[in-house]
Chains A and B, each alone.
Chain A
Amino acid sequence: MELICPAGTPAAFKEAVDEGADAVYCGFRDETNARNFPGLNFTREELAASIEYARAKGVRTFVALNTFMTAGCERLWYSAADDAVAIGADALILADFGLMAYVAERHPQQRLHVSVQASASNPDAIAFLVDMFSAARVVLPRTLTIPDIARLARKIKCELEVFVFGGLCVMAEGRCSLSSYATGRSPNMQGVCSPASHVRYRQGPDGLVSELGNFTINRFGPNEAAGYPTLCKGRFDIADSQGYAFEDPTSLDVMDEIDSLRAAGVCALKIEGRQRGKAYVGEVVSTLRAAVDAAPAERSRLLARLRTLSEGQKTTHGAYEKRWR
């Protein structure tokens, strides 16, 4: 099983390579990148140096160009793809048909991976992208159970990569305009979800309130830790009952299912967290590397120490487990 590790900075990239990544994924510092957060991501020069460092150690680099091209401004995405190819990216991770068509035509030898943002969740959808663009790998949306993945894997002609650790999108990725509805900034178009520029914390009469745009996303009592107001992890009021409507502030951890995922036909395990610091990346990559290589009996001991790094120290199997639905 390959371990695909996140890097939002050159320092985190190096850490991921040193700690045992099989491949590192990262993106440019602009709207071509679905993690377009201030202070993160790579210049062309930084990416070139990082790829060189990785290649010397036998580690591959996947470049995520996984937003949808803004109409009339496609050149930004085309240039990013051309540059990533020229710099030596081992794969491009793409979501937009128009960009996939461009890469398939201009760079037919370039390995193309389908981003989770493309929302390819079944054999017909994957066949479409394999036939049309020769996609070599699909990153599955976090909407399937492990038995669903096993059934799917038997019917497709490309590799499968799945998220196993880190933040959890509750909605089908690439098909969510919740953040855009609240703030005008879009994951699909600008590469940002619940952007910090639209976040406010306010001390109200009933506690600390977190807001996104003009909407309250959560309220915290005096002894409660105040989390970041990611929209779908907020507390809302439905029929006079308050609670986490979509998902508790938990993060994804299915590392205890490595063997089931391998048996299901998954070839690569992806760690979320390009927004996280170097120390986090180092800790997570080294532990998951050890866990992937360990005997099953050894694994739970190795994974236990990762729990403290998860959001709210709570984790979920998400949709990989049927009961979650």
Chain B
Amino acid sequence: MDHSTTLVLGPVYYLWDADRWRDFYFRIADEAPVDTVIIGETVCSKRLHITEPAFADVVDRLEAAGKSVRLSTLALITLDRESQYQRDLIRDGGHVIEANDLSALNLLKGRNHAVGPLVNVYNGPAARFLAKSGASTICLPPELPAVSVKAITTDCPELAFELFAFGRLPLAVSARCAHARAKGRIKDNCQFVCGEEPDGLTVKTMSNQPFLALNGVQTVSYTCQALLQTDADIKALGVSALRLSPQVCDMVEVAGIFLDLTKDKIDPDEAALRLRTAYPAVPLSNGFHHGHAGAEWVARSRNATMGGPQ
């Protein structure tokens, strides 16, 4: 049995126009060393039609390249048409579905599925409950500290666990669209203004300090998560895959950095250096993993790697 750590590319959280979205995935198919790719709108149902024309081509291209494809469900469902869309997506079958809301868990009961980082799995009993319901893979919530990750994986050895290892952290979702609001609009007449910031719209504090970023109804971190662990660290945590969340940067290079790291070709310090070059736009953070504020960067040391809540 192959126990090497695999790389998973999470869904694009941002509104990218159809061409950009298609070209991104075509290049991922052709060049990125990731095993699994999750696609599909996760943040806002109003965007669904935008990538739809390219959807089938992207799936075909990824699968032809040998990638395993999962489909992501919406994170917050409040409308009948959103429920219906999700039912159709799940009924179509053919692909493993990643649930991002309790409603998807209901529709996926008894069927092999994955659970995304936006479903609250904070402990082993919750994970075991989901496993009984058909989940085979869980991407743990990004705010979990390493001590919790270790406790959960020890409790549920039958499940595959992923860590959110790269990308701006999904921190909150709202019924209100702060992104539209910042541009003098409301959600119902947003005119897709979130598409103007394909990497998020920066929210600075009144002391001119970058803090958060808006992405439609979602709020993400300003910093970029960078869980840079050696392969031994990852195995010690009981995790089998690292999730890379797409940002506007060279994601093929990002995947290459994580591959080199998990193959012990480079060490975490060199990985950090290379990531800062690949995605210079924002600072790196890993505070959640160490039980600190999520915005912090904890420099690598033997003790910090497995650090728990302070």
Q: Which residues of A contact B (CB under 8 A)?
A: 68-72, 74, 95-99, 101-102, 118-125, 127-129, 131-132, 142-144, 148, 151, 170-172, 174-178, 180-184, 186, 188-189, 209, 213-219, 232, 234-239, 241-242, 245-247, 319, 322-325
Asked if B143 and A188 make an inter-chain contact with CB atoms under 8 angstroms apart, the answer reads yes
- From A102, A120, A142, A245, contact of B175 by CB (8 A): A142
The 7 closest A-B pairs by CB, nearest first: A98-B125, A124-B103, A128-B106, A71-B151, A143-B175, A72-B151, A68-B122
Query: What separation, in Å, do the CA atoms of A118 and B106 have in the docked complex?
Result: 14
- From B107, B121, B144, B203, contact of A236 by CB (8 A): B203
* New contact pairs (15) apart from A69-B123, A215-B295, CB-CB < 8 Å: A71-B152, A74-B125, A119-B76, A125-B105, A143-B78, A143-B175, A172-B76, A177-B169, A181-B294, A214-B295, A216-B206, A236-B204, A238-B182, A246-B219, A324-B175
Which size bracket describes the interface of B in this complex?
Answer: 35 or more
Nearest A residue to B294, CB-CB: A181
User: Does B178 lie at the interface of the complex (its beta carbon under 8 Å from any beta carbon of A)?
Assistant: yes
**Chain B 182-203 interface mask (CB, 8 Å, partner A; 1/0):** 1000111000000000000111
Distance (whole angstroms) from the CB of B42 to the closest CB of chain A: 13
Distance (whole angstroms) from the CB of B254 to the closest CB of chain A: 21
User: Does B79 lie at the interface of the complex (its beta carbon under 8 Å from any beta carbon of A)?
Assistant: yes
Asked if A175 and B310 make an inter-chain contact with CB atoms under 8 angstroms apart, the answer reads no
Q: Which A residues lie within 8 Å of B118 (CB)?
A: 175
Interface segment out of the listed B1-9, B20-28, B126-134: B126-134
Q: Give me 29 A-to-B residue pairs in the complex whose CB atoms sit less than 8 angstroms apart, sorted by A's number.
A: A69-B122, A69-B126, A70-B122, A70-B123, A71-B124, A74-B125, A95-B120, A97-B120, A98-B123, A119-B101, A123-B83, A124-B107, A131-B106, A143-B175, A148-B79, A151-B80, A170-B174, A172-B175, A177-B172, A180-B294, A188-B120, A215-B295, A232-B172, A237-B204, A237-B208, A322-B188, A324-B176, A325-B186, A325-B187
Query: What separation, in Å, do the CA atoms of A70 and B309 have in the docked complex?
Result: 11
A235-B206, A246-B174 are known contacts. Are A181 and B123 too (CB-CB below 8 A)? no
User: Does B304 lie at the interface of the complex (its beta carbon under 8 Å from any beta carbon of A)?
Assistant: no
Distance (whole angstroms) from the CB of B166 to the closest CB of chain A: 16
Asked if B151 and A125 make an inter-chain contact with CB atoms under 8 angstroms apart, the answer reads no
User: Does B272 lie at the interface of the complex (its beta carbon under 8 Å from any beta carbon of A)?
Assistant: no
Distance (whole angstroms) from the CB of B163 to the closest CB of chain A: 14
Nearest A residue to B293, CB-CB: A184
Asked if A216 and B203 make an inter-chain contact with CB atoms under 8 angstroms apart, the answer reads no
